[in-house]
Amino acid sequence: MRKILERCPSCGAKLEVTRLSCSSCGTIIEGHYSPCAFCKLSPESLGFLEIFVRCRGNIKEMERELGISYPTIRNRLNQVIRELGYEVRVEEEPEFGAKRREILQMLDEGKTSAREAAQMLREVKK
pLDDT in tens, 61-120: 999 999 988 888 988 999 999 999 898 886 655 566 778 888 888 888 899 899 998 888
The mean predicted confidence, pLDDT, of the chain is 86
What's the pLDDT score for residue 66? Answer: 92
Side chain identity at residue 5, one-letter code? L
Q: Closest by alpha carbon to 104, among 123, 117, 122, 119?
A: 117
pTM of the complete model: 0.55
Q: How confident is the model at residue 1 (pLDDT cuts 50, 70, 90)?
A: low
- 3-class DSSP assignment, residue 68: coil
